[in-house]
Structure 1
Amino acid sequence: MAVTATSLLAIIGMLMGTLGVAKDSKVETTSGVLLRQLAGEIREMQAPTLPDAEPQPVILLMDESMKILEHSRFEGSSVREMYDSGASQASAASFARIDRVPNPEDPLMDRIIIRVESPAAAPAAIRTVRRYAALSPK
């Protein structure tokens, strides 16, 4: 029985590790798909010109299949309010926030910061956040 119990615990541990890697892979795929979907819009985003100015991020609410349910640039969208408090839509899975900020290391480039946050129903303070960055010419 001890050998069987030890073997089962080892198998369960390996399965849990595999599930974690699969979830991380899904989030990384999501950020790549977002970059491709929004490439033109990201290029048009303006970084703040004043050092203390707050950037205007693009905020998206997505379902499990990465379909955009709400977009901060849609007319009448309430996604900015939902971003802080959590989404009430049953199909909502995650938020994506895209910021364009000046790159202090290279004045000719801006940093594009993508944050994929889940679960969407949770308030912003307790969501799991995965952060990705890329450079874009000014």
Structure 2
Amino acid sequence: MMTPPLQNLTVSLQKSSMGFSLVECILSVAITVTSLLTVIGMLMGTLGVASDSKQETTTGVLIRQLAGEIKDMTPPAKPEDEPEPLIVLVDETMKILEHSRFNNSNVKESYNTGSQLASAASFARIDRVPDPENTLMDRIVIRVESPASAPAENRQVRKYAALCPK
């Protein structure tokens, strides 16, 4: 009567020492890969938000630098006329490299074709136009475009608008 239980014990010991099955290995790899892809996706989303936040902050700094000039800009006499833009070329720290109001500045030409300056990061174009909905206010339209080395049609554009009394 003793032999059958010993045989069962021997067989169960042999099965437990065989290792993992192929299904278990594939399942564990699938769970690991799914977890890693989820973490990488979350990191990519965080990097995008951080980049947007940096752009928003640097745009705010630029607007504060140019606040006096924005107030002094005159809108076109007629709403259908093209406004005279204020164009600024800035580096990563929002230091102004070129300005459309500087003497001998070719920033308007490089705005269309792309800047050749290695330190240039983005262009800022500021237009003051009459607000069609409110005759007492003008609309300030600020476009921050990057990268500065690319032609105008190939840049990423972030547009901001504000109202300013006439």
Q: Could you say which TM-score interval applies, normalised by the shorter chain?
A: over 0.9
Indicate yes or no: 2:163 matched with 1:135.
Answer: yes
Question: 1:68 — aligned with what?
Answer: 96
Q: How does 1:105-120 map to 2 (within 5 A)?
A: 105-120=133-148
**Counterpart amino acid of 1:59?**
I
1:23 corresponds, among 34, 51, 65, to 51
Q: How far apart, CA to CA, are the structure 1 residues paired with 2:149 and 2:104?
A: 20
Kindly, what percent of the aligned residue pairs are identical? 70
Deviations 1:17-62 (A, max 9, x none): 0111111111111221122111111010000002332101000111
In structure 1, list runs of 5 or more residues that go unmatched: none
Q: State the TM-score, normalized to the length of structure 2.
A: 0.81
1:11 and 1:48 mapped to 2: Cα distance?
A: 52
1:87 and 1:121 in contact (8 A); partners too: yes
TM-score (norm 1): 0.97
Contact 2:79 2:129 in 1 (8 A): no
Structure 2 residue runs without a partner (length 5+): 1-28
1:96-107 pair list within 5 angstroms = 96-107=124-135
Letter in 2 for 1:19: L
What do you get for the CA RMSD once the two structures are aligned?
0.8
Q: Which has the higher contact order (CA 8 A, sep 6+)?
A: 1
Give 1:99's aligned amino acid: D
The answer to whether the aligner puts 1:10 opposite 2:38 as a matched pair is: yes
Task: Find the counterpart in structure 2 of residue 82 from structure 1.
Answer: 110
Greater per-residue helix proportion? 2
Higher strand share: 1
Aligned residues: 138
Aligned equivalents of 1:123 and 1:36: distance in 2? 27
